[in-house]
Amino acid sequence: MKPMDILVLFGGCSTEYGVSLESAHAVLSHMDPEKYRPIPVGITRDGAWYWYPGPLEAIPQDRWLESPACVPCTLRLDRGNCTLLLLDGSEQEIPFTAIFPVLHGKNGEDGTIQGLFELAGVPVIGCGALSSALCMDKVRSHQLAALAGAAVPKGSVVTRPYAPEALAEAARSIGYPLFVKPVRAGSSFGVTRLEGPEGLIPAVEGAFRHDREVLLEEAVPGFEVGCAVLGFGISVEVAPRVLMVPGEGIVQAIAVVTGRQFGNVKTAFDATLVSTALLLSLLFFHRLQGLGIGTIFSALAVGRFVDLYNRRLPLISRISALGART
């Protein structure tokens, strides 16, 4: 059987450009060559597209654009064409079967590029424009979860211009500790945990560097479970296996059911934490299989919402786009 040609996008106009390089390298390195033939396409921080047939190890090192093999390119946007057009004067076209956008943050996970693919009629590995936009937006995703009967953290949205007194009052009404976050951005940049009012304005201004809206959000004690959703339509599988334990403000450790440790976690795993995390992961794996949060995610993944929230789990502290896009 002939391998499918998969166009893999990486980089992008986002503060999470570097995160995308790491993810894309992992994806490209693990694609089964008997089933898939990757077509790597890098997007620079300035938005230029390049076909990159060079060595994979240059991608996470951000040296890929230095390769003389890079060729400017663009998509053919006439509907259903599924062709990459090289812009080196050769007029060469590279056909592909589907696009895998391994992009993080703005202009990658927020529905913008997904809308481009839908307009062009290109099959996409991942979610469409609606579900991507909803899951990237912390405020609207919480509103959607609340409509399903899920308890969500207290929060307040800040826009410019704002009065410092009104900002301080909004924070007091939520209570400390709280988080300051860009509304539409990932979790890697612009997020600050505050134990008190000191540093509130600098934290808000820092978040404004990543979005035009900022969220003040109640800090919820506990942990986060990431739910992977695979499939399409009614044929979906929910496999929640990732447990994220908050510590020192953001995330202290990640464990999975298999016990594998992620290489990009800076905090050391001790034996007690790993054992506890594995047991809790197994518990949530059985509690969420095809139900609750996982069902909300799987419905969002195909652009629909189904009110099947499992009320035995009364709090969603954050709707993670991971669940809807994986």
Nearest to 157 by CA among 98, 97, 204: 204
Q: Say if residue 81's pLDDT is above 60.
A: yes
Indicate the range of 37-46, 164-173, 303-312 predicted with least confidence: 303-312
Q: Are 211 and 136 in contact (CB under 8 A)?
A: no
Per-residue pLDDT at 223:
59
Tokens for 167, please give them: 């900002």
Predicted confidence at residue 320, as pLDDT, reads 33
| CA–CA distance, 311 with 291 (Å, rounded to integer) | 10
Q: How many angstroms separate the Cα of 122 from the Cα of each of 82, 87, 184, 287?
A: 6, 20, 25, 36
Q: Other C-beta atoms within 10 Å of 89: how many?
A: 7
Mean pLDDT value of segment 46-70: 97
How does residue 84 score in pLDDT terms, banded at 50, 70 and 90? very high
- Give pLDDT, residue 254: 39
Sorted by sequence, the CB contacts under 8 Å of residue 212 that are 6+ apart come out as: 159, 160
Q: What is the pLDDT of residue 292?
A: 41
**C-alpha dist (Å) from residue 177 to 139, 180, 277, 311:** 19, 10, 24, 26
Mean pLDDT of 72-101: 95
pLDDT of residue 305: 27
Position with higher pLDDT, 243 vs 135? 135
Q: Spell out a b/e string for 245-265, using b for 16 or more CB atoms within 10 Å of the CB, else e.
A: bbeeeebbbbbbbeeeeeeee
Distance CA 63, CA 44 (A): 11
Closest among 175, 210, 212 to 190, alpha carbons compared: 210
d(CA 133, CA 284): 27
| pLDDT of 248 higher than 50 | no
Per-residue pLDDT at 231 exceeds 90: no
Over the stretch 114-138, which tens digit does the pLDDT of each residue have? 999 999 999 998 888 988 898 899 9
* Residue 96 DSSP code: -
Instruction: Quote the pLDDT of residue 296.
Output: 39
| pLDDT of 234 strictly over 80 | no
Q: Which of 36-50, 68-82, 107-121, 235-249 has the lowest mean pLDDT?
A: 235-249
Q: pLDDT of 163-175, one tens digit each?
A: 999 999 999 999 9
Spatial separation of the C-alpha atoms in residues 21 and 151, rounded to whole Å:
35
Q: What does 186-205 look like in DSSP terms, one character per residue?
A: -SSSS-EEESSSTTHHHHHH
* pLDDT average, residue stretch 276-303: 45
Residue 274: strand, helix, or coil: helix
Residue 278 reports pLDDT greater than 90:
no
Average pLDDT value for the chain: 77
Q: How many percent of the chain have pLDDT more than 90? A: 57
Do strands 235-245 and 253-256 pair parallel, antiparallel, or not at all (unpaired)?
antiparallel
pLDDT in tens, 168-208: 999 999 999 999 999 998 777 899 999 999 999 999 999 99
Checking if the pLDDT of 242 tops 70, the result is no
